[in-house]
Structure 1
Amino acid sequence: RTGQVYAAAVSPDGRRALSAGRDGRLMEWDLATGAILTTIPAHEKIIWAARFAPDGRFALTASADETTAVWHLETGDRIGLKASDKTGKQPWLSSDHPGARLYTKCANCHALNAQAASRSGPHFEGLWGRRVGAVEGYNYSGALRNKSFTWNEKTLFDLFYQGPDKFLPGTKMPVQQVPDKEQLANLVDYLRVLTTGGAKQ
């Protein structure tokens, strides 16, 4: 690459490396061949630090623009909010539903409807009964593009009880596991309430 490099890291399996620097780009390399695997225009200013996550599927960067970010290396997508966007309705903040508190974690990556500001995960409009990987225009990982089930009470429960990394190996969804079955049932019911208007389906 051209330009000054200020950060480099080797993947946990020793097969890949990251480099980043003055141009704000994060690059992933194959150490055996020297080939560039991924190039992500991560920041508008210098990247001072770059690291692999422990599983090697994600990278973390810190920049002179005073932000840090998590990146899914397969797709190049940023995980979490792309900006400090808090516009739109946030009914979970005032809800007395027992699942609302846990939903705040979902809200970091998913908007309630297609008109809201884009986030790193697909929006939840029409989630209940929607086929997995079906939001038009969203850049899904291969783990979801190759599946055909629909989201419902059972599949959402399994997703969070097993953890996304076990239920959908290869997904870019961060690990969000809820081992408490009662709390998880409350979260799943609150997702139903939010995405169906409270109607039982």
Structure 2
Amino acid sequence: MDRTLRRVTLAALLALSAPAQSASGEQEWPERLVGHGGPVMAIALSDDGSEALTASFDYSIIRWRMQGPEGTIVARLIGHNAAVNDVVFVPGTEKAVSVSDDGALAIWDLRENRLETLIEDTKDKVQDVVVSLDGRFAAAARWDGTARIFDIAGGREIARTEGHRGNVNAVAFSLDGRQLFTAGYDGTVREWPLDDGLIAGPSRLLHAHGWGVNVLAALPGGSLLAFGTLNGVTGVIDLPTGEVVELASQEHPVLSIAASPRAGWFATGSANGHVRVFDMDSGNLVEEYGDIYGPVWGLSFTPEGTQLYRSGLDDFVIRWQVAPRHPLEPIQSVYPRRFQTVSRAGPGEMEFLRKCSVCHTLTPDDANRAGPTLYGLFGRVAGTLPGYKYSRALVESDIVWTPETVSRLFDDGPDIVTPGTKMPVQRLKSVERRDALIAYLLQATAADGKTPLPGERQTTN
């Protein structure tokens, strides 16, 4: 690895393009991107920085125009049936690709802001997606032990890797598209030769770390591959020589990674909220930022590399100015979040906050969360709330939500009571805690102060 320190002057960085300028000529980027109804799992900025895509636990993707203090929502893309884990723009096209906990890969038409193709397979989680620089192929890391390669124009799978033991967590294409890199729970990083998107031979073991490898990034220049691990190591593999250099490490898992070609930096985000920026050539730590209120699941640099957007447990994305650093950097995360509150008075409310509040509200407004509002729940026929896109299984269900059916939902689980629906599987086996939750919901979800009697249908809410 070239150990010469890359010197990027601040003047050169600030001279590069940005989506807007203030009256004084300074660059303006949104401080936050506000619009999701749940934690934000990933963010991707377009090459020119004018737009962004965010993927969320609320099952949606938002397309943003990077203007104003909180960004401008262009479109909300709906099509996945579970949390969306990653999303990327497709270079040279007006398309995007996303992956989800539902096991599907989605191809989006950004000219019309619609779902173009949904490629479904098993229900195994898909954690990571990357697109080749020529925009022809997408690769996805699946938790069934494989990585899949897709022809984007054709909307179909064309190849898959097999060889990892356990989850495949991360994928990356080489800059020329002739290699695919994969990393997984088994602690290995592998290289697969490609010929026109197809696997052209056996894999080569690049690194056996021992602990699981969570993230990968092919760095600009084509000779370096960065990785981050479950035990907090950030490392770089020199592909021509096979040399592996471990950089400044930490105790917490590395969960996200992003690179800035113009600045010559790459950044990692960790489970304890720390963001570290490294110089690509020297491996030196350039900057570091800490937010103690949760993990960093997503990172994306602005084109010139002076700003870095990060996402995590908050319903919004936060901007951090890497260069020049602000003397005061207030933490913008909200803590405790609604699902982390531990000081509420009643046990029923506690169960709601922990089990339900990530996906549901108690007010007529659903706040763009993953599930429908619970306002007016009791007496409502399942799958009938106007404006919410239910799964077919729930639309065709004859369940009426009563204290008894809601209790059974938490006792047996959604997979038993409402099979085939989008509801995540969770159970509450304690009768005392379940009864407390039901009692709280009866009071908190009452529409217009009136709680319907058990079995009384309420289909207008």
Residue 435 (structure 2) aligned to one of 172, 185, 188: 185
| Amino acid aligned to 2:358 | N
Q: Distance in 2 between matches of 1:185 and 1:68?
A: 32
State the match for 1:106 in structure 2: 356
Q: Which residue pairs with 2:345 in the alignment? A: 96
Deviation, structure 1 residue 50: 5.3
1:194 and 2:444 matched: yes
Task: State the match for 2:390 in structure 1.
Answer: 140
Separation in 2, partners of 1:128, 1:185: 15
The 8 Å contact of residues 114 and 123 in structure 1, kept in 2 or not, is answered as yes
CA distance in 2, matches of 1:20, 1:115: 27
- 5 Å-filtered alignment, 1:60-75, equals 63-65=298-300, 66-67=310-311
Number of the residue aligned with 2:118: 37
TM-superposed deviation, 1:37: 3.1
Among 358, 370, 373, the alignment partner of 1:120 is: 370
Question: Is residue 150 of structure 1 aligned with residue 400 of structure 2?
Answer: yes
Q: How many residues matched?
A: 155
Distance 1:82 1:150, change over 3 A: farther
> What secondary structure is seen at the aligned counterpart in 2 of 1:99?
helix
Query: Using the alignment, how far apart are the partners of 2:450 and 2:432 within structure 1?
Result: 19
Could you state the TM-score of these two structures normalised by the residue count of structure 2?
0.29
Question: RMSD of the TM alignment (CA)?
Answer: 4.1
Q: Please state if 1:168 is matched with 2:418.
A: yes
Q: Cα 1:111–1:154, aligned 2, differ >3 Å: closer, same or farther?
A: same
Indicate if the aligned counterparts of 1:129 and 1:151 stay in contact, CA closer than 8 A.
Answer: yes
Aligned-pair distance for 1:114?
Answer: 2.2
Residues 42-53 of structure 1: pairs in structure 2 closer than 5 A? 47=129, 51-52=141-142
8 Å contact kept, 1:159–1:167:
yes
Which one has the largest radius of gyration?
Answer: 2
1:93–1:100 CA contact under 8 A, matched in 2: no
- Separation in 2 of the partners of 1:111 and 1:160? 18
Greater RCO structure (CA 8 Å; 6+ sep): 1
Identity %: 31
Name the residue aligned to 2:98: 26
Bigger fraction of residues in helix: 1
For structure 1, list consecutive stretches of 5 or more residues without a partner in the other structure: 1-18, 30-35, 40-45, 55-59, 70-80
Structure 2 CA distance for aligned equivalents of residues 194 and 129 of structure 1 = 14
SS in 1 for 2:372: coil
